[in-house]
Amino acid sequence: MKNLFDVSNKIALVTGGSRGIGAMIAEGFVKNKVKTYITSRKADQCNKKADELSEFGQCISLPADLTEMKQMDNLVSIIKEREKNLNILVNNAGAAWGAPFDEFPENGWDKVMDTNVKSIFFLSQKFVNILENSATNEDPSRIINIGSIDGIGIPRADTYSYPASKAAVHHLTRVLANRLANRNINVNAIAPGPFQSNMMASTLKEYGDQIKSSVPRGRIGSPEDIAGTSIFLSSRASAYITGTIIPVDGGSLVARRNMD
């Protein structure tokens, strides 16, 4: 019982790990003795974040644009050359696009779907063997997909491809959980509410007080909130949990349903 939440000596990859929610998860892993690879499209940001986190443990930067299959294949090859096992894959890299309904462009649809959904499926597919290598019935490997409460409730913003993509992430999580359970791989999703991130920065700047007051817990999410849930889903404590979507939103969905 004392080691239920111990994740030390595991190996993880966090996509979109250079900022926002991905960086919060990566920091939680590194500070709890997980060897953590992070990837993001912008090499400078990825390298800088890895350098910052390396003060607390092992963090390695491997920049890549996961919407480009050649770059994804290169990322997978590098990790497989360096590691025999991969215990945790966090599919966090994401994109959003906002435009009025009558003006919403095709490239705004495709970019979000490719980043938020397509990359999750193919990265999980390409890593499945190395995830399986490190898995046992008692301690399965973990795939953690980052969805959103906008994939559960109805958002008010003009971001049509974003909630559709996150609903797809949640259902893909259930499908993969069913397919991979017999290979000792647990697949779960986290559906964050409002957190401080680049994606939310302008919204929080303009509507921060209003958003905080609408959250039953009275605040936006902290790094500990998202890191703690990720550590739980990576530890022995969650070994019997797969195919779940966990809202980490301070009660936002409950409040939203009451308002609706």
Asked if residue 121 is part of any domain, the answer here is yes
Question: Which is the catalytic residue, given 37, 162, 207, 240?
Answer: 162
Q: Domain tally for the chain?
A: 1
Consecutive 10-residue runs of the chain (260 residues): their mean pLDDT? Answer: 94 97 98 98 97 98 97 98 97 94 96 97 98 95 97 90 97 98 98 80 67 83 96 98 96 72
* 184 assigned to some structural domain: yes
Strands (E), 49-184: 59-61, 88-91, 141-146
pLDDT at 198: 67
Q: Residue length, the chain? A: 260
Give CA separation, 152 vs 157, 163, 241, in Å. 14, 8, 20
The pair of three-digit structure tokens given for residue 155, joined into one six-digit string: 């958002």
On whether residue 2 sits in a domain, the answer given is no
Say if 211 falls within a structural domain: yes
10 close to 186: Cβ distance less than 8 angstroms: no
The Cα 130–Cα 141 span in angstroms is 9
For residues 24 and 190, what is the distance between their CA atoms, to the nearest angstrom? 13
Q: Is residue 208 part of a domain?
A: yes
pLDDT the model gives residue 256 = 67
Q: Give the up-direction half-sphere exposure of residue 7: CA atoms within 13 A in the CB hemisphere.
A: 32
Task: Assess contact for 62 and 123: CB atoms under 8 A.
Answer: no
Q: Is residue 87 part of a domain?
A: yes
In a domain, 17, yes or no: yes
- Rounded-to-integer distance, Cα 41 and Cα 174, Å: 27
C-beta of residue 53 within 8 angstroms of C-beta of residue 30: yes
**207 has catalytic annotation:** no
Domain membership flag for residue 221 = yes
CATH number at residue 239: 3.40.50.720
- Looking at residue 194, its pLDDT comes to 86
pLDDT at 220: 86
Question: pLDDT at position 218, please?
Answer: 84
- Give me the pLDDT at residue 204, please: 67
pLDDT of the residue at 206 = 65
Dist CA 117 CA 33 (whole Å): 29
Beta pairing partners, 37:
13, 60
Q: What is the pTM for the complete model shown?
A: 0.94
Range(s) of the domain holding residue 192: 11-259
